[in-house]
Structure 1
Amino acid sequence: MPVSSLPAVLPGAGPTDYARYMRTDALLSLQRGPTEWVHPDELLFQIVHQASELWLKLCGSLLSRAFTHLGVGQPGAAELQLRRASETLRLTTDQLHILRSLPPAHFAVIRTALGTGSGFESPGWRLLRAATTELDIAFSRLLSEHRIAPADVYRGQPSDPLYRLAEALVEVDERIALWRTEHYSVATRVIGQGVLGTRHTPIDSLPALIAHRRFPTLWEARKDLFAAPADGACPRSVRP
């Protein structure tokens, strides 16, 4: 029997269980239709940003799970969720590349339909920011409980659970920076430099956000490793 002829058994709207479980009717109705477009490329622009919100929603959920695992002393399980979160951020970043094909003149038309809407208002980003703040506090608490300084984590072995956990956090931070970098690059490719965004924010203010760190202590730990000791002695990491 062909799969398409199987009766749906799940509750909900849609002719098939795939449609009902995935809620495809609702999902595919969320985009503006042809009669609403100010330009056909509006569909491209909207889908990329809606997909980004879905990936960021998943990322926030994964980071929250990592936070929960840290709270019950499961660094390995937390690391797994952090690695998955980094992958979702990579996918979020990669999909921005297609916006480079958006002609500036087309976006100038699309922009008229955005009102004052801005990526700064992204609920996915707010969720991500809150989740990383929680994780930063939780990791600092974990180190305090073990009486370990952040730099000492990196003086250990790369196979150590705390080292791996720290690097998983750094990877998330790096992915956020790469996402912001790609966003700025695409924005300037389409609308140029020295232009005000929809909220009258200069596009050229975006690079300052790229250097912002969600886990600053782990980046400072790297500097501590290379700082010369006051007494002129060799750093612990290179002592025989």
Structure 2
Amino acid sequence: MPSKTLPAVLPGGGTTDYARYLRTDDLLALQRGPAEWVHPDELMFQIVHQSAELWLKLARTHLAGTLTHLTTGRVGEAELLLRRACLGLRLITDQLQMLRQLQPAQFALIRTVLGNGSGFESPGWQQLRSATIDLDIAFTSLLTSLDVTPAGIYREQPSDPLYRLAEALVDLDERIASWRTEHYQLATRIIGADVLGTRDMPVNALATLISHRRFPSLWQARTELTDHSPRGRHGHQDRR
């Protein structure tokens, strides 16, 4: 037998406390309705992007906490929040698979009602980019205070808290690159490569963003370690 519905006791709209706490009436009213659609797949398009903004909101909240922990030297706590942010980015990348269901002709219709909207205007991504700049500065400052170099971190054991923190930052960088890769592939799959996307930007220009590093010192550390290894960068004996 279905469980008995208890009366709502929380303030707000909705007939149940579930609806009132999660504000489901407001949440489910944020999408365009059937009478407004130029194509039914508008609902999918909006939900994917709206849910991405929610995950990005959570991710940047965790990154703000990470920054606080870094500035006070709490390395372990910073790593834990970074892992959560990375998971949020993985989820928004995975859900791009839904948009692979869009057919080019269908999306051509949907584009007509997007106005001048562009993913570059995403508040979630704008704030995430800003957060990674602050994190890179704070991480560099932490290493300076500890008299440790990025390459020096990787000479420690993987169980070292600073090593784990560095790898969490690299994971975050990779998650951003993975999203950009998937987004670029999705765009070329749906609208083509040799066309202009939003903001009249060539779609192929998206590919140039994939290799951008948010924490360059940690990537450079790998090159430095390889250069100073016995075989060197090119696989030959290093005679220095």
TM-based fold match above 0.5: yes
Structure 1 residues without counterparts, runs of 5 or longer: 233-240
SS at match of 2:97: helix
Residues in 2 aligned to 1:180 and 1:23: alpha-carbon distance in whole angstroms? 32
Shift of 1:216: 0.8
Q: Within 5 A, what are the aligned runs for 1:120-159?
A: 120-159=120-159
Match of 2:168 in 1: 168
2-structure distance, mates of 1:154, 1:48: 38
State the partner residue of 1:55: 55
- How far apart, CA to CA, are the structure 2 residues paired with 1:198 and 1:167? 34
Letter in 1 for 2:145: E
Amino acid at match of 2:44: L
3-state SS of 1:155 partner: coil
1:235 matched residue in structure 2: none
Name the SS of the counterpart of 2:36 in structure 1. coil
TM-score scaled by structure 1?
0.93
- Asked if residue 215 in structure 1 is aligned to residue 215 in structure 2, the reply is yes
- Aligned mates of 1:199, 1:4 — CA distance in 2: 53
| Equivalent-residue separation in structure 1 for 2:34 and 2:108 (angstroms) | 18
For residues 57-80 of structure 1, the C-alpha deviation after alignment (integer angstroms, 9 at most, x for no partner) is 111111111111112221101100
- Give the aligned partner of residue 192 of structure 1: 192
Distance 1:190 1:4, change over 3 A: farther
Code of the residue aligned with 2:68 in structure 1: it is T
Q: Is the 8 A contact 1:117 1:198 kept in 2?
A: yes
Q: Please tell me whether the aligned partners of residues 104 and 190 of structure 1 are also in contact (alpha carbons under 8 angstroms).
A: yes
Q: Structure 1 segments of 4 or more deviating over 4 A?
A: 1-4
CA deviations on 1:81-103 (whole Å, 9 max, x unpaired) are 00111110000000001111100
Aligned residues: 230
Aligned to 2:114: 114
Counterpart of 2:90 in structure 1: which amino acid?
R
Aligned in 2, Cα 1:129/1:37: closer, same or farther, shift over 3 Å?
A: same
Percent identity, aligned pairs only, is: 66
In the alignment, what sits opposite 2:101?
Answer: 101
Matched, 1:89 2:92: no
Q: How far apart in 1 are the matches of 2:112 and 2:210?
A: 27
- Secondary structure in structure 2 of the residue aligned to 1:6: coil
How far residue 228 of structure 1 moved from its aligned partner, in angstroms, is: 3.9
Secondary structure of the 1:199 match is helix
Question: What is the letter of the counterpart of residue 173 of structure 1?
Answer: D
What amino acid does structure 2 have at the position aligned with 1:40? Answer: P
SS at 2:220's partner residue? helix
What residue in structure 1 maps to residue 37 of structure 2? 37
Corresponding residue for residue 13 of structure 2: 13
Which whole-Å CA distance do the structure 2 matches of 1:108 and 1:178 have between them? 25
Q: CA deviation at 1:198?
A: 2.1
Displacement of 1:199 after TM fit? 1.0
1:236 matched to which residue of 2?
A: none
Per the normalisation by structure 2, the TM-score is 0.93
Counterpart Cα distance in 1 of 2:3 and 2:180: 43
> Residues 3, 129 of structure 1: CA spacing in aligned structure 2 closer, same or farther, 3 A cutoff?
farther
Q: Are the aligned partners of 1:4 and 1:16 in contact in 2 as well (CA < 8 Å)?
A: no
